[in-house]
Chain A
Amino acid sequence: MSDTLNNLVRTVEREARLLAGLPAVQPSPECLARVRAAVLAEAERLGARPRRTRVAPPWLASAAALLLAVGLSGVLRHSTPWFGAGTMDTDLVAVWVDAVDESRETLAALLEEGWMVSASGADVDYDTQIDDILDGFKEFFGPFETL
C-alpha cells in the first residue's frame, strides 16, 4: 500500500472516532427471541433432511434433446393424417390424451426418483443412472408408438 493510502487510512480512522458518539441501539428482547427461534427452526428444518441440490449431469441435455427429437419426429409422423385429412378420429384423440397423461406421470416419477435432483456430495453412478433414464424414456415414449 502506498504512503498516500496509508496516510488516508490513518486520517479516516481518526475521523471515524466521531461515530463512537452514536447512541447504542438494541433490538427488543421480544425481537431477539423471535428471530433466534426462527433461525433455530430453519436450521432444524434444513438440517433434518439430506442436503439436496439440483445437479444436471453434463450428458443430460444432449440425451434429452436426442430423445425428444426422436420422439417428436415419431409423433409428427403419426399426427400428419389427422390434420391433413381434415377429420379427427375421436378414438385416436383419446389414445393421445392417455399417452400424454401417462408420459407426464412417468416424467414426474423420474424427477421424483432423482433423475435431475441427486444428493449433493454423494458418489453418483452416472452409468447406472443413464441406463435408468434411457429405460425411463423408452417407457415414456412407448405409448406414442401405438398411436
Chain B
Amino acid sequence: MDQVELEDVLRRACRRDPQALGRLFDQFGPRVFGLLLRMTGSRDVAEDLMQETFLRIVRTIDQYEEAGRFEAWLFRIAANLARDRARRLGRRGEHVSWDALEEGASVAAARTMDHESPDRKLLADEAGAHLAACLARLTDAEREILLLRHYSELSFREIADMLGVPLGTALARAHRALQRLRSLHEGKG
C-alpha cells in the first residue's frame, strides 16, 4: 500500500468504514504481531495484545490527526500495551519465559524449510533463532527500541518522538543495544 492509498484508507477509516479498517489490519497486523511477540515472548499474549491494539485503533481512529504518521500512532499503542503488561508482571514478580517461544520459532522455521537447500536454510534458521534468543536477553528498553525500528520501519527521529526522548538518547540506546546484541550473538556476552 503506497502513501496515497494509505491516506485514502485512513480517511475512510476515520469514518469507521469497516472495509478501510480491515485493510489497515491486513496491512499492519502481522508487523504489530511481530513486535508484540518479540516484546512479550508469548504467542498467546501477542495475539491478545494485537487484538487490543486494533480495537483501540477502531475506537479512537476519529482522533487520529493526519499530520502524524499512522504507523507511529499504531506502534506506540502496541508498545504501550506490551510495556504495561511487563510492568504488571514485574509488580507481581512474574517473568516471561522465552524458551518456549524460541523452541516454537525453530519448529516453525523447520516446517517452512526450503527443500532445494535444506542445510543452508536450516543454518539460517538456527542463526535466526539464536539471534532472537540473544535479543530476549537484552533489557526491555534496549529490546523495545530495536524492535520498534525493525517492525515499525519508522526513522530513529520518529521513534525518539514516540518514546518522548531526545534523538541522541534514542540513538545512544539503540547503539548500545546493538553492540550488546552482536556481542551475545557472537558468543562474547
Contacts and interface: CB of A to CB of B under 8 A. Distances in A.
Q: Which of B37, B125, B146 has the most CB of A within 10 A?
A: B146
Main secondary structure of the interface of B (DSSP, over half): helix
Contacts of A15: 175, 178-179, 182
A28 B111 CA distance: 14
Interface in B148-170: 149-150, 156, 167-168
B171 A21 contact: no
Contacts, number: 114
Interface of A: 1, 5, 8-9, 11-13, 15-16, 18-19, 21-28, 31-32, 34-36, 38-40, 42-44, 46-47, 51
Contact of A18 (B17, B38, B51, B181): B181
A9 B37 CA distance: 26
A36 to B, nearest CB: 6
Given A39-B58, A42-B58, 20 more contacts: A9-B156, A12-B156, A18-B185, A19-B146, A22-B38, A22-B132, A22-B135, A23-B125, A23-B128, A24-B34, A25-B105, A27-B46, A27-B50, A35-B51, A36-B26, A38-B54, A39-B21, A43-B21, A47-B16, A51-B62
A33 to B, nearest CB: 11
Interface of B: 15-18, 21-22, 25-26, 29-30, 33-34, 37-38, 46-47, 50-51, 54-55, 58-59, 62, 105, 108-109, 124-125, 127-129, 131-132, 135, 146, 149-150, 156, 167-168, 171-172, 174-175, 178-179, 181-182, 185
Nearest to A34: B51
